[in-house]
Amino acid sequence: MTQSPTKPPRGLARNTAGYGDPDFALYLRRSFAKSMGYSQAMLDRPVVGIVDTGSDYNNCHRTVPELIEAVKRGILAAGGLPLAFPTVSLCEPSLFPTSMHYRNLAALDTEAMLSAQPMDAAVLVGGCDKTVPAQLMAAASANVPCIQLVTGPMLATPFQGERLSACTDCRRYWAAYRAGAVSAEKIAGIEERLATTAGTCGVMGTASTMACLAEALGMMPPNTAAIPAVHAERLRAAEDAGARAVALIEHPIRPAEIITEASVENALRVLLAIGGSTNALIHLTAIAGRRGIRIDLARLNELSDTTPVLVDLKPTGEGYMEDFHSAGGLPALLWELRDLLHGEAIDVTGKTLADRLRAPEFVDRRYIRARAEPVSPVGGLVSLFGSLAPRGAILKRSAATPALFEMEARALVFDGLADLAARIDDPALDVTERDIMVLKNAGPLSPAGMPEAGYLPIPKKLARAGVKDMVRMSDCRMSGTAFGTIVLHIAPEAAAGGPLALVETGDRIRLSVRERKLDLLVGEDELARRRAAWRKPEVPARGWDRIVAEQVLQADEGCDLAVLR
Ligand code: FES
């Protein structure tokens, strides 16, 4: 019943509570665990923690209870003791002001529980946009052997001769409704059909992108990113994740060995090749930052110019995640990209990428293109720099209108979300389709918490006149399911006193995607005058909001908290 002085502690003997008497602490822990009905034999097993993000607020995690049952089966069969524990669960549409405001809270909670509780390995069960990055950030810092398991994408639903899934189709139909092209009755009917199964959004939005990046990084077993949430295969993947977690105890491979410069660059290549979400760049930057790896936006441009887009899914193409999975999934994509990837990167199986890549037996080329016939010869994302974005900004060129890539135009500025909501549909709004709409005070430091508001709606009067796209720019984010010529993540943000804070309606802005430039064409004297008049936003009085306001970093640093890097 006492701890061995020679062997490192294992299972429940790890991290004993600080009573100053480790043997008593273990004795007490075991006796309390026995109150849950465990036998001594069970308590002697190595422990695999399971991060449980099931929540009645999180539709994307509806299947978490059955996934955990399957993970437990795998752990028990492999000789481990499964112990699930709850952590913060974040669902995109359920949180005010935005789920991004709480990603670091979920990361902090998960890291603390991975570190404090006794476990030899862990399975991280997540899915919705912010949970997977939060779990990977936590794993990178706690450095406990971990396997990521995602809930998986929902299935698309047939509807009047097409298919629907959250949430590109939500945005497409809502834009048509705003433009008067879809009736109130039809938009209400579509609401019933957009998300009909459990799982994460069914397009290549942020959740799907992060699942693909988790697999590309090596933190998830091969070919599990895109298995639909409701397929039996998803449950088998969960059982397998449990068994693999037990295997990691005997032959530990820690996140520090998996999340390396090589695997991060592989993940960036995948992000570009799938035409993935802009949000994923922030999350990957934060995950890499936990291991001291910096993602350089200038390097992103080099990678983007040499990485073709090969996956053809919504929001930029036509397919859904279920199509991607049945087309061959991430292994088929990695095979296409193999000469661009670092083959030495290892994953949770302990194999290098070069060892595990095989020519796929079948690939559906409608969804995963060959290198000779890419969706686009260059990657989906570019970073822009200039006097309006000294530390960079992002444009998803694969979801934008090339005719708007080179322009100099008048700025129409909204001071924040309330101003945007109050004026965007005002018939008297002075706006033309050649203006650049600018939203400020919506970055990570702002009270808005960096929402997905970068997809500024086209003013109703222009939408009704048939305008489908305009240049829009801001310091906030955009849903991975959205599209348009939209410049995001301008850094430093307005609330940090960046040049964006100084832009006024009527200023000229020059955008050049070709030159990767974003400039505010206002003289230095005038900017100095405006800068002198600028006031820092007030810091909230207490709680999480105050911690964020004092600690959160800018987009080019992944919006992590400074103390957590
Ligand atoms: Fe959870 Fe889209 S709302 S993945």
Mean pLDDT of the chain: 96
Ligand 1, atom 3, lies closest to the CA of: 92
Q: Is 165 in the pocket of ligand 1 (CB under 6 A)?
A: no
Mean pLDDT within 298-317: 95
Burial class (CB in 10 A: 0-12, 13-18, 19+), 160: exposed
Does 335 score more than 90 pLDDT? yes
Residue 449 backbone phi and psi in degrees, to 5? 75, 30
Q: What's the farthest any 2 CA atoms get from each other in the chain?
A: 79
Q: Is 452 in the pocket of ligand 1 (CB under 6 A)?
A: no
Task: Find out whether 558 and 103 touch, Cβ atoms under 8 Å.
Answer: no
Residue 129 Cα: closest atom of ligand 1? 4
Query: What's the gap in Å between 388 CA and the centre of ligand 1?
Result: 32
How many CB atoms are closer than 10 A to CB 292? 10
Domain with residues 381-559, CATH architecture: 3-Layer(bba) Sandwich (3.50)
Strand partners, 487: 395, 473
Cα–Cα distance, 254 to 259 (Å, whole number): 9
pLDDT tens-digit profile of 262-273? 999 999 999 999
Please write down the HEC assignment for all residues of 310-346: CECECCCCCECHHHHHHHCHHHHHHHHCHHHCCCCCE
Does 362 score more than 70 pLDDT? yes
pLDDT tens-digit profile of 181-210? 999 999 999 999 999 999 999 999 999 999
Q: Is 200 in the pocket of ligand 1 (CB under 6 A)?
A: yes
Delimit the domains of the chain by residue range: 45-155+197-356, 157-191, 381-559
Mean pLDDT within 435-460: 96
Burial class (CB in 10 A: 0-12, 13-18, 19+), 170: buried
Query: What's the gap in Å between 116 CA and the centre of ligand 1?
Result: 29
pLDDT at 98: 95
Mean pLDDT within 74-94: 97
